[in-house]
Structure 1
Amino acid sequence: MKSIVRYGLAVLMMTGISGCAAHAETDTDGICQTVEQGIRLHVDGLYGGYPHSVLRDAVLESVTCPSGDAELRAFHAIAMPPPHMRVAVTRPTGQGQQGSLSVMLFSQGHFVIGERMSLSPFSRTQSPFSVKADINLATARLWSDLANRMAQGKPVIP
């Protein structure tokens, strides 16, 4: 009887944990609502043992929206239906571990553009909120690169 309770409890806990992880991985948030119809944001990743909700909040507070005429023109070309942005942050637990950040933009089911970078030394040693500057930089570069692509006469969606 004890083993049934013990293993039943273990299975129940694993099911609950995987249910929470699945929920975190499928949630999207609306961002940049003042630009066209906005963007659907999906946050992935792990940040040194912190709960996913803390990482998600840090990402939500730091994503840069398109601004300036060139960036807004480029965004307008992919704005309907609202594009989907995926931000993935990974910082393994432990001293001296590298971390990475990836930002990808999708429109109409197609990959549009992305940015990838290592986390700054400051972001590797602090809470998830320290990664805000890195996310801000990566998303600002993404919009700038998209505007440059359009200015060069290249298609916005490759």
Structure 2
Amino acid sequence: MRLIVHYGLAILMMISISGCVAHAETDTETDGICETEEQGIRLHVDGMYGGYPHSVLRDAVLESIACPSGDAELHAFHAIATPPPHMRISVMRPTGQGQQGSLSVMLFSQGHFVIGERMSLSPFSRTQSPFSVKADINLATARLWSDLANRIAQGKPAIP
């Protein structure tokens, strides 16, 4: 009887933990951005910014993304726009004064990696609230669209 209770509890704990993990994996919140072009882009934000809640970081990212503009960038976007592409932005800034952080922007279309940008956070962004990364995010996303437009202009495929 004792073994049944012991193993029964172990099995029950494993089932409950796996249920929590499965829920966490499917609980990825995405937002629609750049919806004036085609069907827009699905955005996923992850990472951490010091001790701030993830929702604050997500709001800062949503307010700062550069969408494709200009003829060359719009042409490049239309090459990957169906079905709507996915963008993943990850911001990492460890807790503590003077800690360096990084920013990563990746664009995916039709299940394939298209292009990405990675950069260190500016000195200003390392010491302030998550809203201070807005300029860094805007710069990284603007570079991403510019680089994609340059790739298309050189006759290279939009999706390598």
TM-score bracket, shorter-length normalisation: 0.7 to 0.9
Deviation of residue 96 (structure 1)?
1.2
Taking structure 2 as the reference length, the TM-score comes to: 0.84
Instruction: Determine the structure 1 residue equivalent to 2:53.
Output: 51
Describe the superposition over 1:123-146 as per-residue Cα deviations: whole angstroms up to 9, x where unpaired.
000000000000000000000000
Are the aligned partners of 1:81 and 1:108 in contact in 2 as well (CA < 8 Å)? yes
Deviations 1:102-157 (A, max 9, x none): 00000000000000000000000000000000000000000000000000011110
DSSP-derived class of the 2:72 partner: helix
Structure 1 residue aligned with 2:83, among 60, 81, 84? 81
Alignment length, in residue pairs? 142
Q: How does 1:6-85 map to 2 (within 5 A)?
A: 22=24, 26-85=28-87
Unaligned runs of 5+ in 2: 1-12
Change (3 A) 1:24 1:123: farther
Gaps of 5+ in 1: 1-10
Identity percentage over the alignment? 85
CA RMSD of aligned residues (A): 1.9
- Contact in 2 for aligned 1:24/1:52 (Cα 8 Å): no
Partner of 1:113: 115
State how far apart, in whole Å, the 1-side matches of 2:29 and 2:36 are: 21
